Amino acid sequence: MAKKKRVVLTDPRAIRALAHPARQRIIDELYSGKVLTATECAELAGLTPSATSYHLRALERWGILERADASADGRERPWQAPAQSLMISSQSTGAGRLASQAMMRTNVDRVIEQFAEMADDDPWDDLSLMARSRLWLTKAEAEQLGKELTEVIERHRRSRTMTSHPAGTRQVMTLLAVVPVGKPPEET
């Protein structure tokens, strides 16, 4: 059975569940296509297996992660992402906004770590990019921009997984943010 395209979180409590750095590390790996046991997730996150199991079950409650098929002998019950990507869509409430901001901080911190982890002699280093722009857009234009940027990411992701991708490819992390700033314009 093919995985669904995206898990969309709208509940502020579900979004808040993402804010823990250890959970983010695990989510990053599982949404890259890996299937991992609680022990393997614990090693990634720097936690004990029992603490990691608690985090995994919390993420499962919100549909962020799910159990994969058990091993042939049934002793291992690995975890996997239920979809290809995870998206937050809850900015309408104060709690939703705060939860989204906490998760975003964790994501931005991880991207900064990944920049720092690149070896000085990495031949792909010149491809690293972080850009910031200010655009003057209408609400409709901002919605269209978000849609188009997401489509570009999806076009490059299409049918490429950890186990099925062309030779010579390398995993590349992206971070996309569209943030309205200042006060909204008065309706005229």
Domain boundaries defined on the chain: 4-122
Q: What are phi and psi of 4, to 5 degrees?
A: -70, 160
**What pLDDT shows up at residue 37?**
93
Alpha helices in 62-171 (DSSP H): 94-117, 139-157
Q: Bridge partners of 129? A: none
Q: Which pTM was predicted?
A: 0.65
| β 4-9/83-88 pair status | parallel
User: Where does the pLDDT of residue 30 fall: very low under 50, low under 70, confident under 90, or very high at 90 and above?
Assistant: very high
- Which pLDDT score is estimated for 95? 65
Asked if the model's pLDDT at residue 1 lies above 80, the reply is no
**pLDDT higher than threshold 60 for residue 19:** yes
Q: Which of 4, 65, 11, 7 is nearest to 34 (CA)?
A: 65
Q: Which fold has domain 4-122?
A: Arc Repressor Mutant, subunit A (1.10.10)
Residues 108-121 have pLDDT tens digits of 887 888 888 888 88
DSSP E strand stretches across the chain:
4-9, 66-67, 79-80, 83-88
Q: Write down the number of H helices and E strands in the chain.
A: 6, 4
- Residues 31-53: tens digit of each pLDDT: 888 899 999 999 999 999 999 99
